[in-house]
Structures are given as C-alpha cells and as structure tokens.
Structure 1
Amino acid sequence: MTTSPSFNGRKRRAFPAVIALVVLCMLGGAGLFGYALLPTNTRSINPVLPAAGSPELAELVKQGRYVAVTGDCMACHTAPQGKPYAGGLAMATPVGTLHTTNITPDKQTGIGNFSFNDFDRAVRHGITPSGDTLYPAMPYPSYGRLSDDDMRALYAYFMNGVAPVQAANPPNAIPWPLSMRWPLALWRKTFAPAPTQTPPGVDLARYKDPVIARGAYLVQGAGHCGSCHTPRASTLQELALDDGGPQYLAGGQVIDGWLASNLRGDAADGLGRWTVQDIVATLKTARNTHAAVVGTPMHEVVTQSTQHMTDEDLRAIAAYLKTLPASSSAVAKFEPNEETARQLRSGVEPNRGAQVYVDNCAACHRTDGKGYAKAFPPIAGNATVLAPDPASLIRLVLAGGELPSTVERPSNLGMPAFADRLSDEEVAQLLTFVRQGWGNQAPTVEAAQVKQVRSELAQAHTGHNK
C-alpha cells in the first residue's frame, strides 16, 4: 500500500469560487453589481525588453522559463497529447467544464497581442485585457506575489521562448447564470490581494534568513501551494494566503479524489518528523524514507515542476516549510509500538483487517509496517495513513496507483487496484487496522466512506469513456 503526501495539486481541480458565485448571484442587485463593475486600477509597468537575438534577451528568456517551471504552468495549459501551452485541458467543476486557454504567442488564438501590462493583469490580478475576471482556477491570488523582475522574465519567455500554436480556445460548458462574469469580479475584489499592492510579492523583510525568505517566496507565490494545501472558507477562498494565518498549508482539501496533506509541523499527519532532506527528496524524486508520491495531482507537480528546480530552491522550500509550527487541529498520533508486528510475525491475525493486510499488503509493506525505503513506504507513522480524512487511502486501495518516473528515480513502482477483490466492508476494516496498528492512532474508516469513493471512481470512469 503506497501512500501519497501531496505538496500541491494540479489546477484541474474545481475552481475555488464555484459555490461562492452561486451565493453572489443570489445576492446580486444594483449595489453589488455596481461594486463589481467599479474600475480596477493596477500598477502600470512598461519594461523595455532586450533586443531580439541579443544575449541579454536569451538570458531573460532562460530566467522566465524557470519561473514558468516553478509556477507549473505546463500542467494546466497543455492538454493530453497537446502542444505545449496551447491550452484545451478540460477541468471538471461542480457546475460545468472549464477549458484552459492557449497561452502561446499566437496572435489569433493565443496571447501574442498582449502587452506586458495585459500579461501582468492576467497573471497577477486575474483580469483579462477586455476587463473580465478570470475564473480562480487560475491561482492569481498566489501569483500576485510574483516580483516585477520575475514577471518581466516570464513575459519574455512566453513571447520569445514558446512556439506559437494556432489553437482556438474551446468554449466553457457552464450554464447561465453561473457563466456570468461579474460575480467573479466581486469575488476577486473581496478575496484576492489588491491589484495596487506596492510592492508586489512576499514581504521578505519578515524573514531574517535569506534561504527561508526564498522558500517563502516560492511556496506562497509561483508554487501556489496554498491553492490545494490550505483549507477554504464557506465562500471558498483560502483561509490564509501566507504563514500569517495558522491554517496556512494545514491541508484538508480533496483534489481529484486525493487529500491534500498537512504541510505544517504536526508530528503525526504533517511534516514534523521529516527532515529538510526528506522534503527535498520528495520534491525531486517523488519518494523518501517516509512516504512516496502516488496520485495524479502530485505526480504532475513533481514530474513537470519540482524535479526541474534547482537543489538550492528545493532546500529553500524545505527550510521554509520546516518553520511552520504544528496546526491546532491534529486528531491523530503516532507512538511506535511493536505489538502489531509481533502478532503478525507469530501468525496472530486479530481481526479481518489484519487478515486482509497479510494477504494483500504485507509482501510490500512487511508485517512490521516499515516497508522498503524509497520503494514501498512504511505504514507505521506515515503522515497520509494518519490523515484525518482517509480519502487518499481508500482511493489508493480501490484504484491502485504508481510512482511517477523521475530523472533520478525512473522506476515507476506501483500498487495494484483491489476494487474487484475487496468489498467496502473489507476495505474499511483493512484501513482501520492500518490506521490503528504499529502505534498509529487515527480514526476508524467506515464502509459508507469506502462506498462513496467507489461510486466517485465509477462515475469518473464512466465520464472518461463517453
């Protein structure tokens, strides 16, 4: 049973303001409508790019390419088997389907006619050249923290380092009234950072260590880790956009069926027992001695973004994450206990969950629950095993999964699916045994929870086959 801490999620998730928009539409009226249409002022910047073909432009494009990697732009703006950045990726949401846009420099269907200020308004402020507000599937509340220098480099890259592709943007399939744009402007003005923020970006002066300051900039800005790993309010904005709020990166969102994990200092379900090198190894190779990345959202983050970042930046991210204290909502504990291992080694299987584990899981994860380092992660003390919501574990047992193949660790070891072999009750008993063995102390799993995930997987399978 391979477990999956998710540092970030692919932006294919439902856009964060769906239900908020429903509420805002219901609350509409002249006052709110007028507020949404108020002029939006943004900082005007007119950078002069180096001359075409110059070494200076080549260096700026190289810098911009790296910024695009840290922002994981490829993951959303490239469809399966599509050309880079040509858009067309379908994002399923509760109210319909969004399609990502073409951000190549094609002048007819892409962003080739964007001025720098057009580009800046879209990326950092969520505003199109026509004045419409982007759906917050585009994480502009986080990108608003990008520096002017990085924005200049990013613009140079997309205009000079990306091949133009003529590909019209597919229409979104969102019914009226949710297709109206003005509620999006109201959501943006209420919950996103002010477009006139000066200076933009992270307040790095509050971090005394420059390494931690760099990590904060990457996590809060381009990496937009909080988009998945920070809980959301009832109006679906992130409860905190930086470490000034105790809920920042505390986990809890379910993205594409996977639980975005707690990245704070909790010893059980967070990163409290991880070292800086554990975090670096996970971001670079998708595995460490504690856990392995399994599941679509984090697969793509590692393969398309973090494995290509510099070791210095990965260490900065890890150092910053290690500064975050434990959250106050921990519901699980881990106190190493050899009793489970002794029982299983001696042939004692105290319940049906233990029987299922020995029959299906022990060959890879061992009767002592310690697994095999950097291949099959341990069960004992695993942060995902101890997560308050067992969604990832249930999904993994039912659907299986595999490690991503990375440059340094090309083997894509995996775990088979057990949906056809195990009943809902058996899966629930197995995971309850796993979450309460070897010193793990986490809530039980109910058959109804397994049934719900099984139903979601079946619906997703049906939708993919249409």
Structure 2
Amino acid sequence: MRSIAALLASVVLALPALAQPNPPSTARGEYLARAADCVACHSVPGGRAFAGGLKMGTPVGTITTTNITPDVETGIGTYTLKDFDRAVRDGVARDGHRLYPAMPYPSYAKLTDDDVHALYDYFMRAVPPVHQANIPSDIPVYFSPRWPLAIWDAFFTGHRGFTPDSNKDAQWNRGAYLVEGPGHCGACHTPRGWAFQEKALDAQDPRFLSGANLDDWYAPSLRQNVATGLGSWSQSDIVQFLKTGSNRHGSAFGSMRDVINNSTPYLTDDDVNSIAVFLKSLPAAANETAYRYDGAAASALLSGEPDAVGAATYASNCQSCHRETGAAAPPFVPPLAGNPTVVDRDAASLINVVLNGSSPLVVKGRPDAYRMPQYREQLNNQQVADVVTFIRESWGNHADAVSAKEVGELRKRSDPASDRVVILKMR
C-alpha cells in the first residue's frame, strides 16, 4: 500500500508541472528593446548590457543612466508590471520620484499595452541580473528637486497611446508608430524649447524631426528638405542607411552609430520599409534649393595650387579619402559634396568629427574598414575652422563660414571619446 500511495503522490505532484503551458517567448520583447535601443543609453563601453553608468550631458548637469537589469537590489528586479509601465510611459520610478526626460518617456508613452508587457517579460526573464549600484547624477542642488518635473510633464508630454491616421495605410502607420514611439527619433532630431522639451511629438507638427543640436552633435532634419534633409534620398536610400549605417549620401556619426550598432539593422525588412515610407511622407520644413555640383574646387585641387583658404589643409589631410571632387567613395567613405550634414546651418557635427574623429560602425558584428581619424592634436582652431569652411563652400555646397572661436568652444566641451561605441549582446 505504501508503494501505491507513494506512486499516486508522485503522479499528483507531477500533474501541475505537466499541465502548465510553456511560458511565452521573450523574443518579441527583445525585438522591441532593439527597436527602442535601450542598450545604448543604459550601458557603457566594456560594461554589462543594461547595467547603466552612461553619463549624459544636459543643460542642468550630467545625468547618469541607471541599472535596468532585474537585479533586486540595484536594478529593477522588484518592479511589478505596473511599476515598469509607469516608469517607461509616465517617467515615474517605483519609489515615486520622477525621471529626467533624458529618458524618452514622452515618446515611449505611445507604446501599446501589449508592447510594454512584452518588454517587461524580456527584462525580467531574459536579461541577466547585474549587481551594480547606480551612480548619482551630477546635478546642482538647486536643480535636484524632482517635483517640478510633474509640472514639466503636464505641459510638455503627450497622452498615452498611438492613434493611427485613418487617412494613411497600415504600412505608414506602422512606420509612424516605430518612429514616434519606441524608436524615439524625435528625442534627437526634433528641436528643443526653452524648457528642453521637444517642440513636437508627432508628424502632425512641421517641427517634428526638423533637426536639432544635442550634446554638440547636430541631428539633421529627417523631413523632405532637398538640401539639409532627406529630400534627395530615395526610399531605398533610407532603408540602406538604417540597415548598414551608410549609403551614397553619407554615413552615421555621433549617437546615430549606437542606433546602427544595436538597433535598426536588427529590425525586419517590413519594419525598416515602413519607417522609410513614413519619413518620405514628411513635408519639407524649409524651402531650399536643390544641390548642384560645381567642379571649380576640384579643378583647383587637381592643379596643385589651390588658393582658397583651407584648401591646402584639405589637400594634406582630407583629399586622399574624400578626393579632390568631394565625392569620396560611398558607402565606405561618405561624400562631402552635397552632404546634408555638411551644408546644414549648424556645423557642430562637422567640427566635432574633424576634431574627434568617428568610431566604427559595427553591423551585426561586422566592423567597417574605414574610420575618420581625429585631428584635434594636428590642427589648431583656425586650421579646423578654415578646412571646415572650405568644405562647406566647395563643390556646389553653400553654407556659412565657421570661426576659430566656434571650434575652440566645441573643443573645450568635447573629447576624443565623445563618439563612443556601445556594442553589446543583449543577453
């Protein structure tokens, strides 16, 4: 009898395990974390994925990103789904303190309930916990109280959820959702107001994605501006850029390299095409003259006796890669002739990349072969100003000159590691 009782007991004990369904996959949540590029901000080069520690410059001081692994002491291991949802979409942490809007919750507010749940499952079940204490942000005492952020949120954040445009098809709406929501493209590419708020949060406002300077990198317009935006880019050009970080018009730089290294190449072809369709639909934010090539600068450089200020510096340091025509060798080396970043009104990115170089693009583990070297040691402020001005005024480019003072100010604020590289396995 004892053996029969033991057998029955073992069967009864086993039944719940046999009856339980397989836990849902975390693949969807991982895909959404890729789309949102969470790893780029919540990780540091050489560190563990999502463990935090990245310093981010803001007008009120330096904010250090937090540990969002499921560690119960230093991460978000004690967060419920409700806690997680409130932090992601409302910018309020589990203990009730408000997050600085360096966390792009004004964009993440558009996430669907299902997508938030999938992200929560991924972070709680698939991300390894990392015991790493958060580093306090370097914010002056008079800016440290968080309660004013409740007022900021009331004025400058939108409502929860994404409302599809009934006049557009499913592909356009999918692209709009990805760009406005998880992709939070507006956080960099939309100009900021006096309170550091994004001036627009969706495609209904012509300021949305019209270009912005953020941390001494200028994120160019993603609207159909023919000179400084995507007006000369085809849909396939946009797809190629999002998949590889380069195309016939230019290459990724600054924080966009983290997007390429960790996010958009991992999206499905359908989603990347949806993003391209959405971006191609955005009207230009400025009336501009389409670019037309002018060969005068190339002829002068070929003669060996260019007389334009900055031309000699270009010939000595830049011409071997970018060529006398400014055409370079895209997609491997970006062109300077007609490049939207070159002719933009804000020359910050061009100055920054000349001073500090550009770190590698690594697409799904494959690093690119060409790097922009830094010239902060070889060239003084006036030389950098002269060569940048030469580039902005040659081959049909028409942009304002750059001063040595502008270069000097950016040199003081930046460093050679400002174009950092974060390439991490997400689990």
TM over 0.5: yes
Is contact 1:214-1:313 (8 Å) kept?
yes
Q: In 2 relative to 1, CA 170–266 (structure 1 residues): closer, same or farther, beyond 3 Å?
A: same
Matches within 5 A, 1:52-71: 54-55=21-22, 57-58=24-25, 61-71=26-36
Deviations 1:97-137 (A, max 9, x none): 32222222222322222221111111011112333211111
CA distance 1:351–1:182, change in 2 (3 Å): same
Q: Does structure 1 conserve the Cα–Cα contact (< 8 Å) formed by 2:223 and 2:280?
A: yes
1:29 matched residue in structure 2: none
Task: Give the match for residue 298 of structure 2.
Answer: 341
1:223 and 1:415 map into 2 onto residues whose CA distance is 27
Q: 1:213: Cα distance to partner? A: 1.0
- SS state at 1:259 partner: strand
Q: Deviations over 1:393-436 (max 9, x none)?
A: 11111222243121385324112222232232222222222111
Equivalent of residue 261 in structure 2, options 303, 306, 315: 303
8 A contact 1:231–1:249 mirrored in 2: yes
Cα-Cα RMSD: 2.2
Corresponding position of 1:12: none
C-alpha distance in structure 2 between counterparts of 1:265 and 1:106, whole Å: 45
Q: Which runs of 5+ in 2 are unaligned?
A: 1-17, 419-427
Aligned to 2:338: 381
d(CA) in 2 for partners of 1:53 and 1:334?
A: 63
SS at match of 1:205: coil
Conservation of the 8 A alpha-carbon contact between 1:380 and 1:438 = yes
Contact 1:284 1:307 in 2 (8 A): yes
Matched, 1:142 2:101: no
**Alpha-carbon distance between aligned partners in 2 of 1:78 and 1:276, rounded to the nearest angstrom:** 32
| Cα pair distance change 1:53/1:415, threshold 3 Å | farther
* From 109, 129, 133, the counterpart of 1:164: 129
Residue in 2 aligned with 1:218? 178
Identify the residue that residue 230 of structure 1 maps to in structure 2: 190
Equivalent residues of 1:145, 1:221 under 8 A apart: yes
Q: In the TM superposition, what are the counterparts of 1:162-201 in structure 2 within 5 Å?
A: 162-194=127-159, 197=160, 200-201=161-162
Asked if residue 449 in structure 1 is aligned to residue 406 in structure 2, the reply is yes
Once residues 336 and 345 of structure 1 are traced to their aligned partners in structure 2, the CA distance between those partners, rounded to angstroms, is 16
CA 1:189–1:431 in 2, change beyond 3 Å: closer, same or farther? same
1:80-106 superposed Cα distances (whole Å, 9 cap, x missing partner): 332222223233444443222222222
Structure 1 counterpart of 2:233: 274
C-alpha contact (below 8 Å) 1:293/1:403 kept by paired residues: no
Query: Does 2:64 align with 1:104?
Result: no
Task: With the length of structure 2 as denominator, give the TM-score of the two structures.
Answer: 0.88
Q: Does the C-alpha gap of structure 1 residues 407 and 62 become closer, same or farther in structure 2, counting only changes over 3 Å?
A: closer
Rounded Cα–Cα distance in structure 2 between residues aligned with 1:238 and 1:231: 6
The answer to whether 1:286 aligns with 2:251 is no
TM (norm. structure 1) is: 0.81
Could you tell me whether the CA contact under 8 Å between 2:360 and 2:367 is conserved in 1? no
State the shift of 1:53 in Å: 7.9
Note if 1:242 corresponds to 2:209: no
Q: Is the 8 A contact 2:356 2:417 kept in 1?
A: no
Out of 68, 82, 94, the position equivalent to 2:47 is 82
Q: Matched residues in 1 for 2:219 and 2:166: separation?
A: 27
Equivalent residue letter for 2:388: L
State whether residues 402 and 413 of structure 1, in contact with CA within 8 Å, keep that contact through their aligned partners in structure 2: no
| Structure 1: distance between partners of 2:292 and 2:61 | 45
Which of 289, 308, 313 is the equivalent residue of 1:351?
308
Equivalent residue, structure 2, for 1:429: 386
* Equivalent in the alignment of 1:395: 352
Distance in 2 between the 1:110 and 1:398 partners?
37
Alignment CA distance shift 1:431-1:459 (3 Å): closer
Distance 1:316 1:347 in 2: 48
Following the alignment from structure 1 to structure 2, what is the Cα–Cα distance between the partners of residues 458 and 68? 29
Aligned partner of 1:41 in structure 2 is none
Task: Return the offset for 1:271.
Answer: 0.6
Quote the residue 2:4 is aligned against.
none
Give the letter aligned to residue 228 of structure 1: C
Post-superposition Cα deviations, 1:246-283, rounded to whole Å, max 9, x if no partner, equal 1110112233x211111111111111111112112212
Report the CA distance shift for 1:106/1:93 in structure 2 as closer, same or farther (over 3 A).
same
TM-aligned CA deviation for residue 312 of structure 1? 1.6
Determine the C-alpha separation between the residues in 2 that align with 1:139 and 1:185: 15
Alpha-carbon distance change, 207 to 71 in structure 1, aligned in 2, over 3 angstroms: farther
The 1:409/1:146 distance shift into structure 2, 3 A limit, reads same
Task: Determine helix, strand or coil for the equivalent of 2:142.
Answer: coil
SS class of match (2:45):
coil
Asked if the contact 1:77/1:89 (under 8 Å) is kept, the reply is yes
Amino acid in structure 2 at the alignment position of 1:345: L
Q: How many angstroms apart in 1 are the aligned matches of 2:75 and 2:359? A: 35
User: What letter is aligned with 1:221?
Assistant: G
Give yes or no for contact 1:352–1:426 (8 Å, CA) kept in 2. Answer: no
Give me the identity figure in percent: 45
Q: Aligned to 1:83, what secondary structure does the other structure show?
A: coil
What corresponds to 1:366 in structure 2? 323
Is the CA contact (8 Å cut-off) linking 2:359 and 2:371 kept in structure 1? Answer: yes
Q: Distance in 1 between matches of 2:127 and 2:20?
A: 15
1:96 and 1:173 in contact (8 A); partners too: yes
Q: 2:105 is matched by which residue type in structure 1?
A: Y
Q: Higher mean Cα deviation, 373-382 or 110-119?
A: 110-119
Partner Cα distance (1:222, 1:66) in 2: 11
Give me the whole-angstrom Cα distance separating, in 2, the residues matched to 1:302 and 1:214: 20
Give the number of the structure with larger relative contact order, counting CA–CA contacts within 8 Å between residues 6 or more apart.
Answer: 1
CA contact (8 A) 2:357 2:416 kept: no
**For the residues of structure 2 that align with 1:359 and 1:459, how far apart are their CA atoms?**
21
Which has the larger displacement, 117-126 or 393-402?
393-402
Equivalent pair of 1:124/1:144 in contact (CA under 8 Å): yes
Contact 2:225 2:287 in 1 (8 A): no
Q: What is the 5 A alignment of 1:116-127?
A: 116-127=81-92
Offset of residue 288 of structure 1: 0.8
8 Å Cα contact 1:286-1:403 kept in structure 2: no
Aligned CA distance change for structure 1 residues 107 and 54 (closer, same or farther; 3 Å): farther
Which is worse superposed, 226-235 or 99-108? 99-108
